[in-house]
């Protein structure tokens, strides 16, 4: 049976994973390989590194956590974060740590579920957006393809028609020659 301290530590680890997993900056860095070939492994390693940082340092302030995360992102993913999300992530991590230490596991669990839902909603929205982009991209390409297609059917131009000549070398190569109407 796990002790309350071990349970709190496990819950905090899941909380860190949920916060970092739903952090768009980190997900973009991982998805685009900012950390090299091992970007996914680095993001997983960050969970343990953040947990260890909290365990080794008493009474951390959100600004300290923010600096630590900024350093990790810079060193591991060559990424400087200027969108304000570092402060939000740091505050959420400090809140989770405090709640785990005070035995408020239910609140942490509820927040983890909410983060998971937000992450799923973001993935669904991203998939819809990507599908819409691909669909509109295909629609834009179709008219271009259709405009370039050429029918080999005779083109009727008034009472006279211009039919391709069988002895024409362009016609033999699969091209249809359309000539100007003679007056």
pLDDT digits (tens, 9 = 90+) for 163-174: 444 455 555 566
Which tokens hold the place of 152?
Answer: 């080999």
> In the prediction, which pLDDT does 2 show?
64
> In the prediction, which pLDDT does 122 show?
76
Quick check: 161 pLDDT over 70? no
Whole-number Cα distances in Å, 82 to 17, 32, 121:
22, 18, 24
pLDDT digits (tens, 9 = 90+) for 14-67: 999 999 999 999 999 999 999 999 999 999 999 999 999 999 998 899 999 999
Dihedral over alpha carbons 122, 123, 126, 131 (to 10 degrees): -140
The whole-model pTM stands at 0.67
> In the prediction, which pLDDT does 162 show?
46
> In the prediction, which pLDDT does 172 show?
55
> In the prediction, which pLDDT does 137 show?
64
Higher per-residue pLDDT: 132 or 163? 132
Helices (H), 32-174: 39-56, 62-77, 85-101, 105-148, 169-172
* Bridge partners for 160 per DSSP: 157
Average pLDDT over residues 104-131: 85
CA atoms in the 13 A half-sphere facing the CB of 16: 25
């Amino acid at each position: 049976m796990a002790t309350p301290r071990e349970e709190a530590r496990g819950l905090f680890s899941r909380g860190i994973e949920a916060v970092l997993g739903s952090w768009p900056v980190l997900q973009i860095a991982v998805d685009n390989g900012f950390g090299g070939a091992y970007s996914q492994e680095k993001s997983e390693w960050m969970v343990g590194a953040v947990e260890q940082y909290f365990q080794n340092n008493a009474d951390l302030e959100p600004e300290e956590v923010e600096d630590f995360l900024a350093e990790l992102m810079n060193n591991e993913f060559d990424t400087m974060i200027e969108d304000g999300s570092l402060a939000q992530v740091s505050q959420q991590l400090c809140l989770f740590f405090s709640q785990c230490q005070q035995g408020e596991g239910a609140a942490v669990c509820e927040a983890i579920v909410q983060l998971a839902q937000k992450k799923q909603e973001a993935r669904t929205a991203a998939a819809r957006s990507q599908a819409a982009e691909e669909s509109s991209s295909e629609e834009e390409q179709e008219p271009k393809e259709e405009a370039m297609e050429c029918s080999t059917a005779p083109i009727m131009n008034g009472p006279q028609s211009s039919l391709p000549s069988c002895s024409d070398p362009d016609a033999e190569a699969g091209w249809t020659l359309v000539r100007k109407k003679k007056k």
